[in-house]
Structures are given as structure tokens and as C-alpha cells.
Homo-oligomer: A and B are copies of this chain.
């Protein structure tokens, strides 16, 4: 089925678009009252993620409110280690825990990529979401990066500082090598199946690559992601996002991904100038900007669109996931501002012409939220 709105895919291929595509990491989530209601009915986060009909409903919730240019599969990056038999659970307010950590010679040696049949609920969800979308916008499938999965597996769950992982990077790098190699096999197979089930683009979330030294990032995180990307069918649009590596963009730009996601600390304008001819770029508003007010959000959008410039290959997004306290009206203001400003820009007037004299960080922005 051809897509009604393929703006995201065009931007990922660095083709011209009539408006700038926008989607938001964690766009389906706790800031939406309808999500909270459905989660309460389902009983748990994992019930939502493992029941295709519920995952479908959650995935579509933000699209009913906002004219976003993409849907993203509602799931969790830890489905893979869960399918490896590590015993995933989510304690309320505590983040993910595994019954078994993978942090010694024996557990690392025993590690194997999971039978993908154990993840069929994910592929079923992808298929159902595609049917429900009926071609409105593309669907992004995703996985955690091999290293980010390894972080949770080694630590046995979430952590403030991932001390076990960081120590292991010095004392037993060979163990991390083995874990990320197994994870790369698993992630590659998992993404290929999401693609078969109907995903239009694929994203790797490398939430914790920023914990590492540059040499360790290259070895434990970026190279395994490259390995995953090499195993995907040619031509599939891919997005690689590492948080906390604004200093590593040159090597990420050479990773083989179609697009690199920037966290909010990276210099979007500089990244576009240096790397925009080789790779599309996505990002990078501080998610906490969405805790302010529509006017401040619009001013921030103006600044970012100016930094991104008019050349093809830019996808508006946050620099990390939406936080639960976000007022939905600020998300509405953001999406409207991206569309209005980028439409003006692509219809002839450059973004900077809309707001002459506007300076970075100024509160004076265009009024696009119906005022």
C-alpha cells in the first residue's frame, strides 16, 4: 500500500519534502491520559507491549491527537534479553530488572541469540499497526543497540552509573565483546523480522553508548551497530541514535545508517554543515522544553529549524524521549510549529525570513498555535 504521507522516508533518503517531518521519541506514552488509562486497564507495561492489539492501540494514540509524520512501534528495547530467558520484570517506579544478570564467564559463555519465535508478539504488533495505519504515515520499527542491551544484561537492570559495565570495559573487555556479538546477531534478526512484518524504517536506540570512552564506544557500541546495519536489506531507511556522544558524530556519520539522531547537547547546525551531505540528521530539542509553554516551544522550534537549514535530510525530533509531565498542548504546539515554519521555508521563503532579527534563545517567535 502506498503511503499518503511519506515525508519521513523522503527525509531519511535526503530527498526534498514539502514540509519538515516530525515525530517524537516516546510519542506514545505516559504524558497522554489515554495511555495512562489503557495501561491501568491492561495492568502493566509489559501487558501492553506483549499484546498486539493493545500495542497497536497505544502506537496510534498520539496520531489521533497530533499530525505526526510517523508512527513508532510501541514496545521496549528489553524484549530481546527477555526472550533470551533473563527474566525481565518492571517494578513500579524502579525501572527494569532481570532475574539473572550476565556478568561472569559462565553466564556470558552460555548466552545465545533468542529464538525469534519467542518475539512473534512484536512482529504481530507490527503487522496489526500497519493495517490500522492504512498507509497514513510510515511505521518505524526499532531495537536497542547491542551495547545498550548489554548494559542492562550486565547490570541486571537499570542503574544510575552502570558501574559494573564501566569496570568490565577495563577489566574484562573480552566479555563485553562476546555479549555485544550475540546481541548484534539477535538485533539484526529481530529488525529483519520487523521489516518483513511491515515496518517502513528501522531505528537503533543506543541509550548508553555515552557511558564509554571514545575507544570503548567504537569497539563495544558503534562497531556492533555497524554489523547490524550491514545485515539489513539494502535500501531500508535506518536511524542510529546514540545519547551522549556529541563528540563522536564524525564516526557515527560513517556508520552506514541513513540518519543519525542527535541528543539535545549536540550542535545541530554544525552537524548539518559537517555531515549533512552524507547522512540525514534527526533531532534535537531538549525534551524538557516541552515542560514550558506553547510560546517557548515555538521559539525553540524556530531556533532548531534555522540551525538545521533548508537542505534536504532533516527530521525534527527531541533529543531524548518525551517526559511524563509533558502537557499534550505543548506537543500540539511543537508539531504545528514544525509544519508551519518548514512549509513556509520549503515554499520559497527561508526559515530565517519568517522571523527577521530573531536571536537564539529569544522568546519572540512566530505565533502559530492559533493566536
**Which A residues have a C-beta under 8 Å from some C-beta of B?**
161, 163, 166-167, 169-171, 173, 210-217, 219, 244-249, 264-268, 270, 284, 286, 288-289, 291-293, 296-297, 299-300, 303, 307, 319, 360-363
Contacts and interface: CB of A to CB of B under 8 A. Distances in A.
B248 A248 contact: no
26 contacts: A163-B291, A167-B288, A167-B291, A169-B286, A169-B361, A170-B286, A170-B297, A171-B292, A171-B293, A173-B362, A210-B265, A213-B264, A213-B284, A213-B286, A214-B246, A214-B265, A214-B266, A219-B360, A219-B361, A245-B265, A246-B248, A247-B247, A247-B249, A247-B265, A247-B266, A248-B267
Nearest to A285: B213
Given A214-B267, A215-B360, A293-B171, A166 B247 contact: no
A247 B267 contact: yes
A358 to B, nearest CB: 12
Main secondary structure of the interface of A (DSSP, over half): helix
Given A217-B265, A265-B213, A170 B249 contact: no
Given A171-B292, A219-B360, A219-B361, 5 more contacts: A171-B363, A212-B265, A214-B270, A245-B265, A246-B246
Output the residue of A161, A296, A307 with the most chain B CB within 10 A: A296
Nearest to A266: B247
Contacts of A171: 292-293, 296, 363
Contacts of A166: 286, 288-289
Could you say how many copies of this chain the assembly holds?
2
7 smallest A-B Cβ distances: which pairs? A246-B247, A214-B267, A166-B288, A171-B292, A215-B360, A170-B289, A170-B296
B289 A265 contact: no
A92 to B, nearest CB: 18
B361 A173 contact: yes
Contacts of A266: 214, 247
Contacts of A163: 288, 291
Contacts of A265: 210-214, 217, 244-245, 247
A339 B268 CA distance: 41
A299 B170 contact: yes
Contacts of A264: 213
Nearest to A287: B166
A222 to B, nearest CB: 12
A227 to B, nearest CB: 18
Nearest to A299: B170
Contacts of A297: 170
Most chain B beta-carbon contacts within 10 A, residue among A247, A284, A286, A293? A247
